Amino acid sequence: MGTPDFAVPSLRILVENHYDIAAVITAPDKPKGRGQKLSQSPVKEYAQLAGLKIMQPNNLKDPEFQAELASLEANLQIVVAFRMLPEAVWSMPEIGTFNLHASLLPQYRGAAPIHWAVMNGETETGLTTFFLKHEIDTGSIIMQEKEPISPSDTTGTVYNRLMDKGAELVLKTVEAIETGDYELHQQNENQTLKHAPKLFKENTELKWTEPAEKLYNYVRGLNPFPTAWAIINNKKYKIHESSIIDKDSTGEIGKLITDNKNHLHIQCNPGILALKIIQPEGKKRMEVADFFRGNQL
């Protein structure tokens, strides 16, 4: 069960290792772009190439879908970047249902674990496979693997590495379940937990009252999607890339420091952030020097 490109390598590695995929369950086709043509999920595109049975339920609680799922008599279900499953679905196979989650659980439970790990300036994240139970992202851990985050990493670069490593962990997990050679571990709740809620307009804004270091982490954590944004001179700009000029300096918060030619720096609290690639509302993304060829601040 999966939808985006993140889930494709996990499916591919199981097919290439000759596991019997009873069916692939993915999101329904959706209208996309100006022509609103129906677009297939990356998982569906791969499943078609591999000649696999594809199911695209609108409602996972639909009795017809659940009856068809039960008729497959699958003994294990694997979830990678899908959606919440009702208990009737995740409890159906005799072995159960396991999920690949892109964090070291119990840290960063939620919809955007890679984004929040980078946004919070973590130096390490990872992957977890665990059996599903009622509460989201809380089930017994089967396996984990760590992945370092460098100060220059973006969510995009970490995502790509975890996508490939995740496939290998899914295969290792399936092989261990097949042989019975694994131990389950309960998630350690006796620690301060950081969460990974969905990203909205409200939690992707850069506010100059925050430290430059935090804002730099937000910019790279929201790159390439959904992209950080900020208000500059009462106008909205997306901020695609930035760097830290100074971590500790103080001054008038939000002050623009610019020659209106090559650089755009902003005083934060504390520190100074250099904006490198920006996107005025309704226009294309551009380097700051290109922006200044037709604009002044």
Residue 43: which of 66, 69, 14, 70 has the closest Cα?
14
> Does residue 103 have a known ligand-binding role?
yes
CB neighbourhood size of 87 (10 A) = 10
Residue 194 CA to residue 206 CA, distance in Å, equals 20
For 52-84, b where at least 16 C-beta lie within 10 A, e where not — what string? beeeebeebeeeebbeebeeeebebbbbbbbee
* β-bridge mates for residue 27, sequence order: none
Q: Is the Cβ–Cβ distance between 143 and 170 less than 8 Å?
A: no
93-129 b/e with 16+ CB inside 10 Å = b?
Answer: beebbbbbbbbbbbbbbbbbbbbbbbbbebeebbbbb
Residues in the chain, overall count: 297
- Distance, in Å, from the CA atom of 159 to the CA atom of 44, rounded to the nearest integer, reads 20
Binding site as annotated, residues = 103-106
Binding site as annotated, residues for (6S)-5,6,7,8-tetrahydrofolate = 103-106
